[in-house]
Amino acid sequence: MSKQMYLFLLSIMISLVGLSQSSIKQIQQTARDLNNRSDHANAVLVLSQGLRDFPKALELEKDLVLSLTLQRDYARAKELALALTQRADADVVCFQLAGNVFKALEEVKECEQLYQKGIKKFPASGPLYSEWGELRSSNKDGRAITCWEDGIQADPSYRGNYYNAALYYSKNNEPIWALLYAEIYINMESRSERSLNMKKILLEQYQQLFIKHAYQPGKKTDAFTHQVFQLLENASGPALQAVNQETLTMVRTRFVLDWFTNNASAYPFKLFEHQRQLLQSGLFEAYDQWLFSDGIDPEGFAQWSLEHSATYTHLREFLYNRVFKIPAGQYYKNR
């Protein structure tokens, strides 16, 4: 075969692949539009026809599992989902979709085994740890927190495990980690409805710590947690009578300064570095207004943001024009 003929055939093959991918995306979009209108039966028909034209197309098979699940045809969804997880090219979403089917069928043991298999294949998948923990939590299994902590350690940039762990610790008298994980989540997903819930938990946990004095480190408390608690305790004076944005800003300012004097080299921690940067930029008070007033006292926050519009604009640019991530290796929770 001449070089010219080879190149000609190669160009035709590339065009056909591109056409196939384009057609698959069109089928997916049609099915998603139908699902959005709750017409799941026709979405299933569209995807089934698409798979006759493009057999074994992974994206179409995943969308078919989803559509069957929405249609509550769990038997067909389960059969296809299990087959998906056994494919060599199975991705994390394949295991998530299968997990949703098992949850709908209330097949807890099988779902546990599925997540174990998925995590063995994708050991750094934060979403699989998160959903495994949610399965355990829904069945009142205390090992849920182990899943979420493992997820934070394995995939520190995935936000879902911080949210779940913060909720767990807020209900189990561990305010230090509820505080840390809640604030991390807020910075990772600063404009979601769930971040407003985390802001409320953040304030409640400071009240738990400074007003109710309901927490003391135990003998098995790790050094990082003990140091955080001790420095917060040392700085707590302004908040002993009232926990509000003003007193918390005083406490938190002293904490950051003390942390970088005493502990930063031993325990580098992105959240505290973020707080110090806000202090150095003159935005820490505005940041605390956003943390402790927005969603808790919306009218007061709206008034503050009008009166300090330039500062608030600067803060929004600082928070929203960057991606907040926790680096690997900054995991200090002793379990």
| In the block, residue with structure tokens 């075969």 | 1
7: pLDDT confidence band, cut at 50, 70 and 90?
Answer: very low
158: pLDDT confidence band, cut at 50, 70 and 90?
Answer: very high
What's the whole-number mean pLDDT along residues 209-230? Answer: 90
Calculate the average pLDDT of the chain: 91
The pTM is what? 0.89
Tens digits of residue pLDDT in 256-302:
999 999 899 999 999 999 999 999 999 999 999 999 988 778 888 89
Please check the confidence at residue 325 and state whether its pLDDT lies above 80.
yes
The SS3 assignment for 130 reads helix
Amino acid, single-letter form, for residue 16: L
pLDDT for residue 21: 60
Please check the confidence at residue 18 and state whether its pLDDT lies above 50.
no
Percent of the chain at pLDDT > 70 equals: 93
Tens digits of residue pLDDT in 91-149:
999 999 999 999 999 999 999 999 999 999 999 999 999 999 999 999 999 999 999 99
Tokens of 74: 């769990």
CA of residue 173 relative to chain centroid, distance: 22
Find all residues with CB under 8 Å of 162, minimum gap 6, and list them. 152, 181, 182, 184, 185, 188
Cα dihedral across residues 121, 125, 131, 132: positive or negative: positive
Please check the confidence at residue 196 and state whether its pLDDT lies above 80.
yes
What whole-number distance in Å separates Cα of residue 232 and Cα of residue 91? 43
Find all residues with CB under 8 Å of 138, minimum gap 6, and list them. 103
